[in-house]
Structure 1
Amino acid sequence: MTTFTSSLPDQLLQRLNDTAAKLKMPKNKLIEKALNIYLDQLNRAEYVSSYKLAGNDQDIMMIAEEGMAEYMTQVSDTDETR
């Protein structure tokens, strides 16, 4: 594990101290968990943004609709063989 040193505003550091004490968790573990959650949220936001862009792209939508039509045909064929 690598050591990382950073400066925090006094108010944020106090909140970190208070929360770590309340949760009975070391501050570094709390920071680690919070940073992982935040980075996951950024990653999800990036996916949402890319899907919104794709939803506005006519070529991508046409390809998706063609794929759904093929999928529905396969589902229908499977249902008929049961």
Structure 2
Amino acid sequence: MATFTSSLPDELLKELADTAKKLKLPKNKIIEKALEYYLDQIKRAEYAKSFQRAAKDPEMLLIAEEGLEDYVRILEELEKK
């Protein structure tokens, strides 16, 4: 565990303190969870953007279609068994 020091606007610190008191949680735990959530949302947005870029790439579409054909073939083979 590392120590991190930062400054925040007074209003945000007050809201953090009020929330910590109401939830009976340490402020650092609220900040930790909020940061984890925020970073996860950034990763999800990047992931969605990569799919949007791939959808416009003819080569990627061809690869996806080939993979889908293989998937359908495997399902058909499983149904025969």
TM-score of Structure 1 vs Structure 2, range by shorter chain = over 0.9
Report the counterpart of residue 46 of structure 2 in structure 1: 46
* Cα RMSD for the two superposed structures: 0.7
Alpha-carbon distance, 1:27 to partner: 0.3
Report the counterpart of residue 29 of structure 2 in structure 1: 29
Give the Cα–Cα distance (whole angstroms) in 2 for the partners of residues 67 and 28 of structure 1. Answer: 46
Instruction: In structure 2, list runs of 5 or more residues that go unmatched.
Output: none
When the two structures are superposed, what TM-score results if normalisation uses the length of structure 1? 0.94
Report the counterpart of residue 71 of structure 1 in structure 2: 71
Q: How many residues align?
A: 81
Alpha-carbon distance, 1:80 to partner: 1.1
Give the Cα–Cα distance (whole angstroms) in 2 for the partners of residues 43 and 70 of structure 1. Answer: 29
Alpha-carbon distance, 1:26 to partner: 0.3
Equivalent residue letter for 1:6: S
When the two structures are superposed, what TM-score results if normalisation uses the length of structure 2? 0.95
Deviant stretches of 4+, over 4 Å: none
Instruction: In structure 1, list runs of 5 or more residues that go unmatched.
Output: none
Give the Cα–Cα distance (whole angstroms) in 2 for the partners of residues 69 and 5 of structure 1. Answer: 53
Percent identity at matched positions? 54
